[in-house]
Structure 1
Amino acid sequence: MSLTKVFDPRSFKAFFKDRFAEFLHDNYDNAEEVAVIYGVRYQTALNWWQGINAPSGDTTTLACLRHGQKFIDFMGKGA
C-alpha cells in the first residue's frame, strides 16, 4: 500500500498546526515565552499559540531537541 493511501498530507498539516498549539499550551506559559524560547517575533509565536499557523521545520526540530520523546509522543497522538 502506498503512503498516500494511508496518510493524507493535507489533513496532517491541519492536525499538526492545532496539535502544535496544544503542545505549546502544555509546555509554556504564554506566547511571549514561546517567542523568547524560539527566537521569533511575538506575532509569530502568537499565531502558533492560537493555531493560526504552524512553525517551520527548524522550529519543530528545536522543539524536538528541547523536549525529546515527550514531543514525539505528544505530536504522534491522533495522527
Structure 2
Amino acid sequence: MDPYVLKISAPDLWSAYFHARFHSPREVALFCDVSFQTALNWWGAVTAPASHTALLMVLTDPGAAAFFQDKLARAA
C-alpha cells in the first residue's frame, strides 16, 4: 500500500467506517470523547481521526481491521 494514497484516502475510509458503526455524528462524538464539530468533520470526510482514536476503534471493534482491509481491497 502506498503511504501517500492511504493518507489522502483516510478521511473517506474513516467516514465510511463511522457511518457503518454509528448512527450519527453525535454518537461518534460521545464515544470518541471529541467535540461535535470534530465528529462532524470525520462523518463528512473532511478530516480523519488521530492515531489515538484509530487505536480506540481497533481495540473496541473486532471487525474494524477487516472493514478497512475490505475497503482498501475494493479500491485497488
Q: Could you state the TM-score of these two structures normalised by the residue count of structure 1?
A: 0.85
Instruction: Tell me the matched-pair count.
Output: 72
Map 1:15-34 to 2 at 5 A: 15-34=9-28
Q: Residue 60 of structure 1 corresponds to which residue in structure 2? A: 54
Cα distance in 1 for partners of 2:8, 2:24 equals: 22
Q: Residue 30 of structure 2 corresponds to which residue in structure 1? A: 36
Which ranges in structure 2 are unaligned for 5 or more consecutive residues? none
Q: Over alpha carbons, which structure has the higher Rg?
A: 1
Deviating above 4 A after TM superposition, structure 1's stretches of 4 or more consecutive aligned residues are none
Match of 1:51 among 32, 45, 48: 45
Q: Could you state the TM-score of these two structures normalised by the residue count of structure 2?
A: 0.88
Q: Residue deviations 1:21-70, cap 9 Å, x none?
A: 101001101001100000000000000000110001000000001102x1
Cα distance in 1 for partners of 2:65, 2:10 equals: 12
CA RMSD of aligned residues (A): 1.1
Cα distance in 1 for partners of 2:60, 2:11 equals: 19
Which ranges in structure 1 are unaligned for 5 or more consecutive residues? 1-6
